[in-house]
Amino acid sequence: MRTPLVLASALLLSVGALCQPVPKSPAEAQCRFSDGSAVTVTYSPDLKSYRFVTDGSLLAVNGVHVPAGDYVVSPAKQSGDGWTLMMKEPNTKNGYRVLPPLPMSVRTSSPVNGFPVFFDHTGGSCTMYWREKKSEVVLSLEFTKENADLPVVN
pLDDT in tens, 16-39: 433 344 334 458 999 999 888 899
* pLDDT class of 12 with cuts at 50, 70, 90: very low
Establish if 17 belongs to a structural domain. Answer: no
* pLDDT class of 7 with cuts at 50, 70, 90: very low
The answer to whether residue 92 scores a pLDDT higher than 80 is no
Give the mean model confidence (pLDDT) for residues 81-110: 86
Region of poorest pLDDT, from 35-39, 71-75, 83-87: 35-39
Establish if 96 belongs to a structural domain. Answer: yes
- pTM for the model: 0.73
Give 41: exposed, middle or buried? Use CB within 10 Å, 0-12, 13-18, 19+.
Answer: buried
Number of folded domains that form the chain:
1
Establish if 131 belongs to a structural domain. Answer: yes
Establish if 31 belongs to a structural domain. Answer: yes
Domain that holds residue 107: 26-145
The answer to whether residue 10 scores a pLDDT higher than 60 is no
Establish if 18 belongs to a structural domain. Answer: no
* SS3 state of residue 73: strand
Establish if 153 belongs to a structural domain. Answer: no
Establish if 109 belongs to a structural domain. Answer: yes
Give the mean model confidence (pLDDT) for residues 84-96: 86
* SS3 state of residue 105: strand
Establish if 64 belongs to a structural domain. Answer: yes
Residues belonging to the chain: 154
Please tell me the predicted confidence (pLDDT) of residue 110. Answer: 62
